[in-house]
Structure 1
């Protein structure tokens, strides 16, 4: 096995090494730096996000995918066969059967071959084998042969030849794509469709637009020009609008070209002298001037903060870094290093990695250390470009139309200063009625500042029937659907809850208008729920059995509002104690908790609203809360009976507190920098998974919104399973209730393979203008509608509903899609929404990817606890997930973190060949790197098979 095909990833030599060693280990698939919308098995943000993870987008057997292997620079076509035995399976165009734990394809064609065409290949692959069985079959070449897959090979070859013919015919334009598409100074974001429209003649278009071979010809041209284009969000189908490319500006190309020239200049000069360049010689060349300035800046930094090989600097007190007047050439080098280390723009086989490594070598500051992106990330910390506690994940997701701020936050390129032109008088002012029934209960954590939903109960003449009203903040009534503010919010379509870097969809600092009520802060304050606030109320008439007898939507004005703590409400209603995984023979998940640093003074802010305890409520309100809880539980039981996911385990919790406001990191602009002390970080598990009465009634409101709009033929962002046929529904129900849910009820979190199999049956969740079933919620249709101040998709729903309500008030009757011209009644017709939803879906996934940066905080805390504060666990339990020749991949019982045990780390406890998937070791930490997200462990003893 080539020594650079590392088990923990990294840059491999696929430039000078032979591409045909025959080693099966070279078949391992490598990830791409562009998977900014790939869902994670561990992503958990709230109940809706939990569902999104379980039902994340997946590819289907029979899809054509372009894969890239660790041992090869040549992309390979393969047919995706499915996921079983905890492995993805492929049949490649070279006749090889390939398996992999995970993959991300840059190009795919859905339903390329039929199930019937797959049968000869699938017949040679056991469906219930272990990963070791698959590896042995592949080693002995007892899997599907070329003869078994000849039809698939021929079809893939025909596709490739067709694409190559198109490329050859239109080579001039395709090879000149960068000059045709790039802007001098600004990045563009174009779909594969839009790029094909520029580069290919319209005569190649068919009824569905360009054919997949034509699109692949365009894709090939773009991928060959890596400094001009970057694939941003590969979707499951090349014909989807969210198959986007980032088109770099000309200045981007110019900088990289300069860096390449300067590196060659330095290398040539050093080679001619047959020695490293002296100080006086460095000042004569562009790269030399950066080396001199960077060395000086780093040595000053090390007087107060020690360098470490872990992707962060050693913790320290507040530090002021002196002014660095970087030369223009030095700024270009810093920019290149940021693109390399922070933004991860270059493919694993790119030659530009060598330029970054050479720059680090010539600095002579990082001896006996891999000269990779992690070291470059540390260099950026030492010269003050980024904070020592910066989060790498923030830089790897680039929302179109935004820039990432050093120090925190995301800046949208177009900001509306005049909010007056984006607002309108309350569209429903004359139609609002006082909220009915009990007081409105707003159940949110005391730390919550934006209150956008509440619930109330209205009793009826029938003792077992009540109206449940879900009152939702109503900014859509006052914001123009077609406005600058709408386009601004669309860029970051939901709040991003990354500790230390909260990003609001609607920030409070917009607007410079007079009077003061024409600012975003005033808009948020006016629509955050309080007595007298406007609301859009979603109501359901429910009986004690959980049946929904009727539903309504109406604008309202809130009366009395009572603010409650969800944990208090859960305890008062007697909700079940959360299932917490405990270390048993069946599951080794252990509850870990530790903190690093010192919390700042006054770190706990008092609530900005009057909180009430449930015990302080009057008897009537107590009875209403208990009734709401009972009805919500009955509704949930109805959904559970239809296969809804029963429970979400408390997720890892991270609290980050800064001693001072994070400064703008302006070292690159020549200003002195003040870095406050390292933040206080507390890592543990959530105390609960939420309040059931809240989560159930919010889902109820989404169901009401979907049904109300569906009744009228109103297109909205419905959220539904992408391929839930009647047969798949039965199979999904059987698999979930027979295999997964029993584990959950035993306190055992389902594995990633469980979730993937369920996703294979449901197809994952997608946005659509047509309603459809949402299996994991147990609903026939669903949309999100309860957080319009936090989520753009909810705003879209509200805008459509308000327009429909206004029309119904005018005509005094319900909209009838067979009579009324619904398209002209609504601000967004079906055609425009179909264009919008794929991009909205992409941006929502990007937001969730950024939120997963919580893992970076866990790793930062782990490094500090292990290396500096002696608070890390002495021993951990490591469970093997995959066996490689150089070592083992697996996970720890601490927050299910991925880890690696190499040959030396086995420490004589076991031979690699004797280890099987599921084996467990007691281990200690050997290395942790925040930037690469790599944890290396050392075995202390072999425990045995998990669960024995």
Structure 2
């Protein structure tokens, strides 16, 4: 009479029965058995795969072209018509350009801007690092739209459309250009009045040894102050002037390009770290000057300078270690090295072995930290003059002839 006996009796009487289920749209294409213990709904409620795809397209189209952006983007996370943006070029030394966001065009969507130089340009919204919301009313932007392209451009021309001919009549675009010029002049005047403070921003903000964080608003208040009765244009001009000063600080300041426009967070690197990077740059510059001198000299009596000799010694040590490593492990072009070619019995005490035959001095350790910052941490992104230095040392070892001299190769270094 227990529950087990009742279940056994029911199974003997009904276990052989199996209800046929119409799974016309749920049959696995590979012919695998379906789960008989899953209770399925009515076949009329099933959706075909093509119906799911159509529904997804409908949903995504509604998300891509919302009727009223303000209703679901109350925090202004996406650019809107009339926002002022700063177009920067992290892979070059070009000065950033002020522009006004016009609209999104093409698929995938490209952002269309109108620059302070009176030319249109297409770019990617996620690359915008600074914006001033609601800089001009949308009604001031609408007159130029009929003169701008309605479709996207090829990826090769992104961020280069500023080279195109002027297409909007000057009398139509004049209000926008004038507004941007006024903002730029005000910001430049603020910079001139506070040049000493802004140029010495890192000295007054940085910690001697620790990394610090701050927002653009807080840093601006700390450097230039913020009064209660200050109008928004003056405040935004101060922020823009401070941002220009931080950009000119190079490695001293950094930010996360994925979220900086929204959060405004800035990394304030320590005085010690900045000094070490600058010290290594001077060593490498001296080394390059020595090589240029040797190449131009007719005799071979020249010697490396003290700073250049530090780099030479490090390259010799690195080459020796790389040659030993290549005997035991193959290197790949994907930023990795293979497994050891030498096998040890893991049951023995000497299964794990260390090689301390090469010693690094203080200057070697500084150069290693420099490589680590480039290849592992990506701290030199957007600083092409510093990014160009580590590949020179990789090339000097002569061990990376078949590799691209990029951070992947530096990771195996």
1:217 paired to 2:217: no
CA deviations over 1:811-860 (Å, ceiling 9, x no partner): xxxxxxxxxxxxxxxxxxxxxxxxxxxxxxxxxxxxxxxxxxxxxxxxxx
Residues 205 and 346 of structure 1: CA distance in aligned 2, closer, same or farther (over 3 Å): farther
Residue of structure 2 equivalent to 1:92: 115
1:245 paired to 2:275: no
CA deviations over 1:738-779 (Å, ceiling 9, x no partner): xxxxxxxxxxxxxxxxxxxxxxxxxxxxxxxxxxxxxxxxxx
| 2: CA distance, partners of 1:71 / 1:220 | 16
Residue of structure 1 equivalent to 2:396: 362
Residue of structure 2 equivalent to 1:451: none
* Correspondences of 1:416-435 after superposition (within 5 Å): none
* Correspondences of 1:9-24 after superposition (within 5 Å): none
Residue of structure 2 equivalent to 1:326: 360
- Note the C-alpha offset of 1:272: 2.8
1:339 paired to 2:363: no
Residues 354 and 312 of structure 1: CA distance in aligned 2, closer, same or farther (over 3 Å): same
> Which SS does the other structure have where 1:83 is aligned?
strand
2:277 to 239, 256, 262: 256
- Note the C-alpha offset of 1:369: 3.8
> Which SS does the other structure have where 1:206 is aligned?
coil
Residue of structure 2 equivalent to 1:350: 384
> Which SS does the other structure have where 2:328 is aligned?
coil
* Correspondences of 1:13-162 after superposition (within 5 Å): 57-69=77-89, 73-86=94-107, 87-101=110-124, 103-127=126-150, 129=151, 131=153, 141=165, 143-162=167-186
| 1: CA distance, partners of 2:354 / 2:145 | 62
CA deviations over 1:107-163 (Å, ceiling 9, x no partner): 111111211011112122354x3546x97xx79848434443221111111111110
Where does the alignment leave 5 or more consecutive residues of structure 2 unmatched?
Answer: 1-62, 67-71, 344-351
Q: Does the CA contact (< 8 Å) of 1:234 and 1:244 recur in 2?
A: no
Q: Does the CA contact (< 8 Å) of 1:231 and 1:246 recur in 2?
A: yes
Q: Does the CA contact (< 8 Å) of 1:309 and 1:375 recur in 2?
A: yes
Residue of structure 2 equivalent to 1:266: 287
- Note the C-alpha offset of 1:75: 0.6
| 1: CA distance, partners of 2:315 / 2:401 | 15
- Note the C-alpha offset of 1:233: 5.8
CA deviations over 1:627-649 (Å, ceiling 9, x no partner): xxxxxxxxxxxxxxxxxxxxxxx
- Note the C-alpha offset of 1:185: 0.5
Q: Does the CA contact (< 8 Å) of 1:282 and 1:292 recur in 2?
A: no
- Note the C-alpha offset of 1:99: 1.3
Residue of structure 2 equivalent to 1:415: none
Q: Does the CA contact (< 8 Å) of 1:282 and 1:288 recur in 2?
A: no
Residue of structure 1 equivalent to 2:327: 303
| 1: CA distance, partners of 2:284 / 2:228 | 43
Q: Does the CA contact (< 8 Å) of 2:246 and 2:253 recur in 1?
A: yes
Residues 152 and 210 of structure 1: CA distance in aligned 2, closer, same or farther (over 3 Å): closer
What TM-score, normalized to structure 1? 0.31
* Correspondences of 1:326-725 after superposition (within 5 Å): 326-348=360-382, 350-379=384-413
Structure (1/2) with the larger strand percentage: 1
- Note the C-alpha offset of 1:269: 2.5
Residues 246 and 348 of structure 1: CA distance in aligned 2, closer, same or farther (over 3 Å): closer
Residues 303 and 173 of structure 1: CA distance in aligned 2, closer, same or farther (over 3 Å): same
More contact order relative to length (CA 8 Å, sep ≥ 6): 1
Q: Does the CA contact (< 8 Å) of 1:312 and 1:378 recur in 2?
A: yes
> Which SS does the other structure have where 1:366 is aligned?
coil
- Note the C-alpha offset of 1:298: 1.3
Q: Does the CA contact (< 8 Å) of 1:159 and 1:213 recur in 2?
A: yes
- Note the C-alpha offset of 1:94: 1.1
- Note the C-alpha offset of 1:345: 1.9
- Note the C-alpha offset of 1:82: 2.1
| 1: CA distance, partners of 2:398 / 2:172 | 55
> Which SS does the other structure have where 1:211 is aligned?
helix
Residues 235 and 150 of structure 1: CA distance in aligned 2, closer, same or farther (over 3 Å): farther
Residue of structure 2 equivalent to 1:181: 205
2:192 to 168, 181, 189: 168
Q: Does the CA contact (< 8 Å) of 1:73 and 1:349 recur in 2?
A: no
Residues 234 and 211 of structure 1: CA distance in aligned 2, closer, same or farther (over 3 Å): farther
Q: Does the CA contact (< 8 Å) of 1:227 and 1:252 recur in 2?
A: no
Residues 149 and 341 of structure 1: CA distance in aligned 2, closer, same or farther (over 3 Å): farther
RMSD: 3.5
| 2: CA distance, partners of 1:145 / 1:230 | 39
Q: Does the CA contact (< 8 Å) of 1:110 and 1:236 recur in 2?
A: no
| 2: CA distance, partners of 1:360 / 1:327 | 19
Q: Which 10-residue stretch deviates more, 108-117 or 316-325?
A: 316-325
- Note the C-alpha offset of 1:221: 0.4
Where does the alignment leave 5 or more consecutive residues of structure 1 unmatched?
Answer: 1-50, 380-948
Residues 191 and 348 of structure 1: CA distance in aligned 2, closer, same or farther (over 3 Å): closer
Residues 93 and 174 of structure 1: CA distance in aligned 2, closer, same or farther (over 3 Å): same
| 2: CA distance, partners of 1:270 / 1:142 | 47
Residue of structure 2 equivalent to 1:200: 224
How many aligned residue pairs are there? Answer: 320
Residue of structure 2 equivalent to 1:534: none
| 2: CA distance, partners of 1:337 / 1:95 | 42
What TM-score, normalized to structure 2? 0.68
Residue of structure 1 equivalent to 2:312: 288
